[in-house]
Structure 1
Amino acid sequence: MNEEQVKKYLKENDIQKIKFAFADIDGVLRGKMIHPKKFIDGLESGYGFCDVVWGWDSSDTVYDNVKLTGWHTGYPDQMCRIDLSTLRNVPWDNDIPFFLADFSKADGNDLAACGRSLLKRIAKQCAGMGYHAEFAQEFEWFNFVETPQSLKEKSFTNLESLTPGMFGYSILRTSLNDGFYNDLFDLLLQFNIPLEGLHTETGPGVYEAAILHDEVLAAADKAVLFKTAVKEIAGKHDIMATFMAKWSESLPGCSGHIHQSLWTKDQSKNLFYSADDEYNMSDLHKHYLAGQLYCLPQILPMYAPTINSYKRLVEGAWAPTTITWGIDNRTTALRVIHTSEKYTRLETRIPGSDTNPYLAMAAALASGLYGIKNKLPLTIPASTGNGYEDKRNGILSPNLFEATSIMKNSALAKELFGEAFVDHFTNTRLWEWRQYSKAVTDWELKRYFEII
């Protein structure tokens, strides 16, 4: 809808309130409910948000190490602009109109911290090269029969899983909570997040959903909205969903794999496909893959942004640890899928479900385009067996501090995303490491309290 059509829709449907939100640096949706007059008045100039939303972490604690905002700036308003093309109604909330927003500016001088603005710029670069980027993200997450209050009272321990036992791909387990299971599929569809598939994964109360592919920005919008939508739908059933990458040492982690391919602008031809290649990989596909392999060590925090992310990236846990690729190989960082011309694509398997989809997709697309622009050859051979053992090309950084330190000093990262973004983002990740480093954990108490 354009502006006039949206105004007409609001008037004809007697809309009295509107929700809108944007994703912060962690991918957390921050937003407001506003009056239609406020909505209409802000369509040109935007809506003011205290820019502390870019100056605090996921627990609303303000950073002391970022330049963009802080006590030194007085935390002024930044103007947030709604994207009218993102209109959808929230079916579990009386069909209230909902929009996504970002901090893009007409003059191109976007707010450096805004992930959606960053992805828009990279998608524009992709289109300028003559390609249509088709993306999709899939998510795994655990469900619990808990509430925010019960989590607090239990100190996040001894939680009750939605269902017990290891029941991957189980039809039986989903039938035990069919109201929730069907609501997920049906309400997400009504919310314009159509699922390709939904099923249990191995683990107590764990589900996996694959979102249908779309143009890269629309795909990221759907991925961002998916996580919050699942939590809200779960809440209606007295269930809590978590997208932590690894909530339990003894259970598999939760992935957020990204599927991608490049097409002609009219979307008539998959440019990753070639019938002349052994694995149906075009030269363009190989350059794109080579770009991701080359850039991966220098942009890893965009795929693995939290302390917890690296607890998932361990050997034998269905998540990669090495800089590898393979043909339909689930032990490598990058997996080539070539089942047919239509579905030939690359799966980037590093991201967990804790990613900010805008940043993860920006990382994947920008690094792939880097390989194409520079015609990088695919010199790294495919891993044909256990990718965990294939360390010829290096391993992924084992923790957030090491990964962030590499990215902070990377000229390549600054070339891909801009110096201002890299400075702000890496400082937020170093802040995260500092908060973790000073915390006294249950592990430390159990290990040292009595014996030392």
Structure 2
Amino acid sequence: MVKEEIIAAVKNHPSNKIKFAIVDIDGVLRGKYIHKDKFFDGLDSHFGFCDVVYGWDSADKLYDQSSVTGWETGFPDGQARVDLSTFRKVPWDRDVPFFLADYAAGEPSRGVCPRSLLQEISQKAESMGYHAQFAMEYEWFNFKKTTESSDDRNYQNPIPIFDEMFGYSLIRLAQGSNYFNDIFDQCEAYDVTLEGLHTETGPGVFEAAIQKDSILRAADKGVLFKTAIKEIAHPYDIVPSFMAKWNPDLPGCSGHMHQSLLDDKGKNLFYNPKGEHHMSELMEHYLAGQLHCMPQLMPFFAPTVNSYKRLVEGAWAPTTVTWGIDNRTTALRVINGKESAMRIEHRVPGADVNPYLCMVAGLASGLYGIENKLKLPAVTKGNAYENKRVKKLPSNLYDATQNMKRSKLAKELMGAEFVKHFAMTREHEWNEYIKTVSDWELKRYFEII
């Protein structure tokens, strides 16, 4: 739809309100309803939105250190600019018009909005003649809602909606048909069309692959999907969880990122019918760049303390800086069946990832490899967990954040200002973790020590 059609659709909508949202550093949508009059009044400029959304964590706790905003600034409004191209209606919320917005915080404006950063990297790719085509693929667990009280909601021993391990189950699809059908159909009505939806191995775990799109739209769909699932699930008394690893005895939840580059005519630039594995030289450089940059950009792919509990051997998640052909033990899996499907599946991100930031890091590191004509290391065949000659991925958020914080390359690719802010937020996350006394510690030390 063109601008005039979108404006007409909002004006003619029977509701007197619209909903819009920005995305914070953790990939959480922060939004509100506003009246139509206010929407049209600020459409050509911006809307005020308190910049505390970039001064607190996912639990609304203020960061230990100030970066973009803080008490010393008085937490003023930042500028939220609605992107009309993101227009859609929310089918489970009376078809209310919905938009995403870009955000500028601080004075002068500070570049900490993940969506804005992705646009910068995407524009760089366009200037090089490449059109980035991406897609997100999520796994998540679904639990029975047992209480409405947040005071009682301690998430101990949650009960999955289905029992036992049952991947690709048609029986479970039938048993939960209303919920499954609502996910598939309502996401499509929300302009987040799914390519596939099925049960994964694990009690109550689903997997959804979102249809590929241009990189910004793909990231938009990635963040909207997670919120959509939580809202669609609510009437069913189901609580979805996109934690990377909720149970040590079960597989974790991935947030795999699929990537390819196209030319102006839509030709897949990763494909070469005469190349080894049908890979073009451009794709080899792109892959090499991702491998080279990966250890220095890990918080973009694994942003929480919990992320690293998924990245363990034998758990369908990578632990090494490796690539392979249709190899699900490597960090980067090349899918090379045919030209239209030729792509890289980045298997490091979990379902807890911010899709804008993992796409920023994925595209920026790939372009770095192209610009510097990096040579692709040897392909990994067989079990990558047993490959002792390759680098290991960082094993915890603290080490990963320090690598990124010290990295000149990270600052070069993402901007020193953004890396400084992002590193501060990840250090805050780590500090919140280490000062917590866990159930494991109580059970192990309470009486015997």
Bin the TM-score by the shorter chain. Answer: over 0.9
- Residue 130 in structure 1 maps to residue 112 in structure 2: no
Change (3 A) 1:441 1:176: same
CA distance in 2, matches of 1:40, 1:252: 47
Letter matched to residue 155 of structure 1:
N
Q: Is the 8 A contact 2:104 2:111 kept in 1?
A: no
What corresponds to 1:160 in structure 2?
159
Aligned length: 447
Matched residue, 2:324: 326
User: What are the superposed Cα offsets for residues 328-385 of structure 1, whole Å, 9 maximum, x if unpaired?
Assistant: 100000011101011111110000000000001111000000000111111x111101
1:425 aligns with 2:422: yes
Residue in structure 2 matched with residue 393 of structure 1 by the alignment = 390
Residue of structure 1 in register with 2:200 after alignment: 201
1:73-222 equivalences under 5 Å are 73-103=73-103, 111-146=110-145, 149=148, 152-153=151-152, 155-222=154-221
The RMSD of aligned alpha carbons is: 1.3
| 2:31 is aligned with 1:31 | yes
- TM-superposed CA distance for 1:50, in Å, is 0.9
Q: Given residue 292 of structure 1, which amino acid in structure 2 is its aligned partner?
A: Q
Q: TM-score, normalised by structure 2?
A: 0.97
Q: Does 1:438 align with 2:438?
A: no
Q: Give the direction of change, closer, same or farther, for the CA distance of 1:104–1:287 in structure 2 (3 Å limit).
A: farther
Identity of aligned residues (%): 59
For 2:391, give the aligned amino acid.
G
Matches of 1:59 and 1:171, distance apart in 2 = 37
Give the secondary-structure state (helix, strand or coil) at the position aligned to 2:302.
coil
TM superposition shift of 1:104: 5.7
The alignment status of 1:316 with 2:314, answered yes or no, reads yes
Residue 135 of structure 2 contacts residue 210 of structure 2 at CA under 8 Å; is this kept in 1? yes
The correspondence of residues 278-427 of structure 1 with structure 2, limited to 5 A, is 278-378=276-376, 380-427=377-424
Q: Deviations over 1:173-232 (max 9, x none)?
A: 121111001000000000001101000000000000000000000000000000000010
CA deviation after TM superposition for structure 1 residue 3, in Å = 4.2
Instruction: Report SS of the residue matched to 1:160.
Output: coil
Q: Which has the higher mean CA deviation after the structures are superposed, 389-398 or 241-250? A: 389-398
Q: Is the 8 A contact 1:111 1:117 kept in 2?
A: no
The code of the aligned residue for 1:9 comes to A
Q: Which moved more, 1:404-413 or 1:95-104?
A: 95-104
Q: Which residue of 2 aligns with 1:64?
A: 64
Q: Is the 8 A contact 2:261 2:268 kept in 1?
A: yes
Structure 2: stretches of 5+ with no match in the other structure: none
Corresponding letter in the other structure for 1:137: M
Q: What secondary structure is seen at the aligned counterpart in 2 of 1:103? A: strand
CA distance in 1, matches of 2:63, 2:307: 21
What SS class does the counterpart of residue 68 from structure 2 fall into? coil
State the partner residue of 1:242.
241
Q: How far did residue 237 of structure 1 move? A: 1.1
- Pair 1:82–1:154, CA change in 2 (3 A): closer
CA distance in structure 2 between the partners assigned to 1:225 and 1:391 by the alignment: 39
Report SS of the residue matched to 1:326. Answer: strand
Q: 1:148 to 1:80 in 2, by over 3 A?
A: farther
Whichever residue aligns with residue 426 of structure 1, its letter is A
| Cα pair 1:322 1:391 within 8 Å, conserved | no
Shift of residue 150, structure 1, vs aligned partner: 5.9
Measure the CA separation in 1 of the matches of 2:272 and 2:20. Answer: 43
* 2:55–2:67 contact (8 Å) kept in structure 1: no
Structure 1 distance, partners of 2:322, 2:407, is 21
In structure 1, runs of 5+ residues without a counterpart are none
For residues 390 and 110 of structure 1, what CA distance do their matches in structure 2 show? 46
Partner of 1:49: 49
1:276 aligns with 2:269: no
Q: Secondary structure at the residue paired with 1:435?
A: helix
- Give me the whole-angstrom Cα distance separating, in 1, the residues matched to 2:10 and 2:192: 22
Contact kept? 2:79, 2:103, Cα under 8 Å: yes
Deviation at 1:14, TM superposition (A): 3.4
In structure 1, distance between residues paired with 2:141 and 2:262 = 34
Q: CA deviation at 1:278?
A: 2.5
Seen in structure 2, the aligned counterparts of structure 1 residues 154 and 99 have a Cα distance that, compared at 3 Å, is closer
Which amino acid is the alignment partner of residue 63 of structure 1?
A: Y
Distance 2:201 2:149 in 1: 25
Q: Return the alpha-carbon distance in structure 1 between the equivalents of residues 42 and 229 of structure 2.
A: 29
- Could you state the TM-score of these two structures normalised by the residue count of structure 1? 0.97
The AA in structure 1 aligned to 2:260 is S
- Tell me by how many angstroms 1:71 deviates: 1.1
Structure 1 letter corresponding to 2:140: W
| TM superposition shift of 1:110 | 6.0
One-letter code aligned to 1:263: L
Counterparts in 2 of 1:24 and 1:166: CA distance versus 1, 3 Å: same
Q: 2:133 and 2:52 mapped to 1: Cα distance?
A: 33
